[in-house]
């Protein structure tokens, strides 16, 4: 490892911190050998349900050099979204990550700034930014970069921070100093497995995506199967149960990103208000929100399912 690698790594991590990222870890861009058989098995067992896109670009998912030719390093970044205030207790619930402005916009902007900074400070560095929108195994890269370990609920976990954060990557053609993975601290705890309302965590570290409330309320375009009636625990968009019960999330601290703050109406609405929501109110509350992904029709379908 030459001194330039060390110097550039320090420059990049300092700028990531200045841009508001919780932490930054770096891995060598190479084939994810351990993940390959896991992903293959998960797909073979149809745990992706109707998320057909999960089957696409299998090679690119596992090898960043196929996704970004010439790439040398995967820079993984975490951005906190844990809210200061939460919805009232007599409300249908949405995942905390969707309270404010859609994270894709917020993080993409920060990543572009980071890449521009790298080019200004270091020189002709090429790369691409990824925010949960291309075939990149975010959690695997973040774990490999020492930013946390994969919990039994298959989310990334960190001792100091829990798991309420987004993961993003810059894949660049610059060699850097690489971080090492950290050890797993789940121990014998099974809180997430025991608490999952639809029993989607079929074994430690394996989530059957086709049984997950997030899948049903966001990804599934057809009617939600009646088999799960009464087990959605009032979640109308996404689900945070496995994270809420995790002991490590006692250490979650509120984010400081103004764009992630919810519209006041979101926190004030009761179940009755949600049941009577109009498209106009939906557009106002979720103007630039990730909830747009399911749309007004999808959200009202979910509310009716909870109400029945």
Span 252-273, pLDDT tens digits: 999 999 999 999 999 999 999 9
pTM greater than 0.85: yes
- As a whole-number percent, the residues of the chain with pLDDT over 90 amount to 78
Same-domain check for residues 167 and 195: no
Residue 205 within any structural domain of the chain: yes
Q: Which of 145, 172, 199 is the last residue of a domain?
A: 172
φ, ψ (nearest 5 deg) of residue 80: -65, 140
**pLDDT tens, position by position, 8-45:** 999 999 999 999 999 999 999 998 877 766 766 766 76
CB 155 within 8 A of CB 243: yes
**Residue 150 is assigned to a structural domain of this protein:** yes
Known catalytic residue at 308? no
Query: Which of 140, 172, 204 is the last residue in one of the domains?
Result: 172
Determine, yes or no, domain membership for 268.
yes
Whether residues 47 and 141 share a domain: the answer is yes
Q: Two tokens at 184?
A: 């797993």
Is 90 exceeded by the pLDDT of residue 109? yes
Q: Are residues 201 and 138 in the same domain?
A: no
Q: What is the CA radius of gyration of the chain?
A: 20
Q: Does any domain span residue 72?
A: yes
Structurally, the chain folds into a number of domains equal to 2
User: Using one digit for the tens of pLDDT, what is the confidence trace for 44-81?
Assistant: 766 666 556 555 556 777 788 888 899 999 999 999 99
List pLDDT tens digits, range 271-281: 999 999 999 99
* Domain match, 110 and 217 both: no
Domain check: are 225 and 134 in the same one? Answer: no
d(CA 219, CA 216): 6
Selecting among 63, 132, 233, 244, the annotated active-site residue is 132
Q: Give the domain CATH number at 107.
A: 3.40.109
User: Would 186 be classed as within a structural domain?
Assistant: no
In the chain, where does DSSP find H-type helix?
Answer: 3-18, 35-44, 58-62, 64-67, 103-122, 138-144, 191-195, 213-214, 241-244, 264-268, 271-275, 279-285, 295-307
- Kindly state whether residues 222 and 122 are assigned to the same domain: no
């Amino acid at each position: 490892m030459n001194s330039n690698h060390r110097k550039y790594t320090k420059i990049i991590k300092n700028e990531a911190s200045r841009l508001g990222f919780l932490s930054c870890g770096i891995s060598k861009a190479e084939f994810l050998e351990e993940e390959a058989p896991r992903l293959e098995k998960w797909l073979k067992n149809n745990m992706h349900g109707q998320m057909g896109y999960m089957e696409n670009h299998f090679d690119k998912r596992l090898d960043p050099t196929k996704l970004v030719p010439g790439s040398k390093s995967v820079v993984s970044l975490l951005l906190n979204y844990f809210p200061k205030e939460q919805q009232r207790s007599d409300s249908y619930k949405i995942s905390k990550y969707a309270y404010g402005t859609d994270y894709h916009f917020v993080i993409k902007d920060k990543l572009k700034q980071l890449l521009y900074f790298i080019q200004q400070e270091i020189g002709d560095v090429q790369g691409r930014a990824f925010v949960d929108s291309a075939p990149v195994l975010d959690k695997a890269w973040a774990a490999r970069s020492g930013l946390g370990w994969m919990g039994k609920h298959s989310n990334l976990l960190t001792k100091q921070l829990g798991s309420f954060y987004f993961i993003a990557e810059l894949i660049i053609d610059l060699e850097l100093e690489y971080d090492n993975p950290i050890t797993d601290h789940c121990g014998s705890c099974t809180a997430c497995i025991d608490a999952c309302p639809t029993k989607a965590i079929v074994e430690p570290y394996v989530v059957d995506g086709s049984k997950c409330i997030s899948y049903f309320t966001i990804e599934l375009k057809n009617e939600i199967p009646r088999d799960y009636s009464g087990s959605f625990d009032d979640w109308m968009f996404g689900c945070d149960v496995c994270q809420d019960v995790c002991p490590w999330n006692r250490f979650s601290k509120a984010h400081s990103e103004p764009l992630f703050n919810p519209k006041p109406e979101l926190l004030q609405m009761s179940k009755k208000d949600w049941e009577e929501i109009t498209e106009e109110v939906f557009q106002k509350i979720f103007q630039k929100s990730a909830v747009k992904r399911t749309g007004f029709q999808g959200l009202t379908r979910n509310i009716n399912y909870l109400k029945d």
